[in-house]
Amino acid sequence: MYQVAVLAYDGVFASALTGIVDLLSLTGVTWNRIQGEPLDRQFSVRIVSRDGNPVRCTPRLRIAVDASIEQVDKVDLVVVPTIGAPIESVLQQQQEVLPWLRQMYAAGADLASNCTGAFLLAEAGLLDGRTATTHWGFSQQFRQRYPEVDLNERELITRADNIFCAGGGTAWRDLSILLVERYCGPDLARELARAFVIDVRNDLQSIYAGLPAHSYHQDEQVHTVQAWIHEHFHESTSLAELAEKVHISPRQLQRRFTSALGEPPLQYLQRVRIEAARKLLERGSSNLAKLSEQVGYQDVSSFSRLFKRHTGLSPSHYRQRFARTGALND
């Protein structure tokens, strides 16, 4: 039986913690009960915390644990669920966990994180030089804190050696199915997915991503250009015209914008336009020629290629998948 330690801590997101525990604990159990077959439990799962004391989850659930990290010598797998509380605060409070994570990895354990749980793996230095993913909404914060990590927030799940990272939200379900397949084979993974009615996805996380909600910088001139872009994204513009609005050279704006936001201004403009297009498609817009003009593009084919590059789906497929029920066509 495979030995699993799921790390719990104050501020962990409750459903990510309990969901992973449920799926791994019931591999070879729920399907077998449904089929009237003998139970064949595959994983022994323990919830562990830094000191063995219960933890306060987000939102406000208190969960008992099975052991402290000091009581865990060797396991096959360590899972780090989502950070639901303020990330910086959790990282400060969990510094004592980091050597243990490094110790488990050095002893040969697989490591897996969900969503913002990747911050703890990165804080331990375990993702340096490796590909990883996290929730798309925290990718900018992640990059600024861990520049040595090859972050690819477009991906739903990444693997680097025996370290696995899943993206945002309920990606823990896909991660759990993948881990079951890794240890137990595809048949048991399929049975688990069917028993829990999980539609295993092969999507890019980018189809769910919007623009970051916050800008973690204090460059007022960049803020001014950002504000203009958000208000006038449908208008034709150039780097020189954007720079003129804040009375600096195009080269200065390019450098400062990239330093503040991790991308140049015209690339940022593209993302604002794509986000606007996504919202129109979600409302049911079906006239691509009209839609592309509304977001600043005259060439429908160029817009479609750009949209697919950013989201992983064509505009028509995106509309089919995400248009709200009852939305009116143009």
Tell me the pLDDT tens digit for each residue of 232-264. 999 999 999 999 999 999 999 999 998 888 789
Question: Are 202 and 225 contained in the same domain?
Answer: no
Structure tokens at 298: 């005259």
Same domain, 35 and 156: yes
Q: Assess whether 172 and 299 both reside in one domain.
A: no
Q: For residue 187, is it within any domain?
A: yes
pLDDT of residue 318: 85
Residue 213 lies in a domain: no
Q: Does residue 89 sit in the same domain as residue 10? A: yes
Give pLDDT tens digits for 198-218. 876 655 565 556 565 445 567
Q: What's the pLDDT score for residue 327?
A: 45
**One digit per residue, pLDDT tens: the chain, 330 residues?**
999 999 999 999 999 999 999 999 999 999 999 999 999 999 999 999 999 999 999 888 999 999 999 999 899 999 999 999 999 999 999 999 999 999 999 999 999 999 999 999 999 999 999 999 999 999 999 999 999 999 998 888 998 989 999 998 899 999 999 899 889 887 898 899 889 988 766 555 655 565 654 455 678 899 899 989 989 999 999 999 999 999 999 999 999 998 888 789 999 999 899 989 988 998 888 899 999 999 999 999 999 999 988 888 899 988 887 776 544 444
d(CA 133, CA 12): 18
Q: What is the CATH number of the domain that holds 14?
A: 3.40.50.880
* 193 shares its domain with 244: no
Of 207, 239, 264, the position where a domain reaches its end is 207
Q: What is the pLDDT of residue 211?
A: 60
- Same-domain check for residues 226 and 153: no
pLDDT at 187: 83
CA distance between the termini of the chain: 57
- For position 298, which CATH number holds? 1.10.10.60
Same domain, residue pair 156 and 241: no
Residues 86 and 180 in one domain: yes
For residue 76, being part of any structural domain is answered with yes
Distance CA 153, CA 171 (A): 12
Give the separation between CA 152 and CA 142, rounded to whole angstroms.
Answer: 11
pLDDT for res 59: 82
Same domain, yes or no: 190 and 230: no
The domain total for the chain is 2
| 21 and 146 belong to one structural domain | yes
The verdict on residue 59 lying in a domain is yes
Q: How far is CA 91 from CA 25, 83, 113, 134, 185, in A?
A: 28, 9, 14, 15, 35
Q: Which residues constitute the domain of residue 146?
A: 2-207
Residue at which a domain ends, from 155, 180, 207: 207
Q: Residue 286 has what pLDDT? A: 80
Residue 328 lies inside a defined structural domain of this protein: no
User: Would 11 be classed as within a structural domain?
Assistant: yes
pLDDT score recorded for residue 118 = 98
Q: Do 201 and 236 sit in the same domain of this protein?
A: no
Q: Is 329 among the domain residues?
A: no
Residues 224 and 84 in one domain: no
